Amino acid sequence: MQLTADHVRHIAKLARLTLTEEEIIRFTKDLGGIFTLIERLSEVDTSSVAATAQVTGLVNVSRADEIRNGGASPDALLATSPLPIREHQIETPSAHGSH
């Protein structure tokens, strides 16, 4: 596929970018070069290459969820709030304005 200046303008519009004519010319050439490389890569025979998601050999590490008490009391945690405490709860501003 040959990338044109109109293609670049369309891509810029979708990305909500404002490009100068000089940038459109430059990106037409740069993106066209990238597409050419991608086309060349698609010609490589990879039928004998095993699919892989990653190459480091690392595996996911999972652990059971468990509740741990960090030693802080509810009162100590509430005391860290810069907002007022009412009836053992943090009072937050209303999302609907003051009533």
At 97 the pLDDT is 67
51 or 69: whose pLDDT is higher? 51
* Averaged pLDDT score across all residues of the chain: 89
Which domains, ranges and CATH numbers included, belong to the chain? 5-42 (1.10.20)
Q: What average pLDDT does range 6-25 have in this prediction?
A: 96
DSSP assigned state of 89:
E
Share of the chain above pLDDT 90, in %: 62
Q: What average pLDDT does range 73-95 have in this prediction?
A: 91
**Dihedral class, residue 29 (left if φ above 0, else alpha if ψ from -120 to 50, else beta):** alpha
The yes-or-no verdict on residue 43 having pLDDT over 80 is yes
Q: What average pLDDT does range 67-80 have in this prediction?
A: 88
Distance CA 18, CA 12 (A): 7
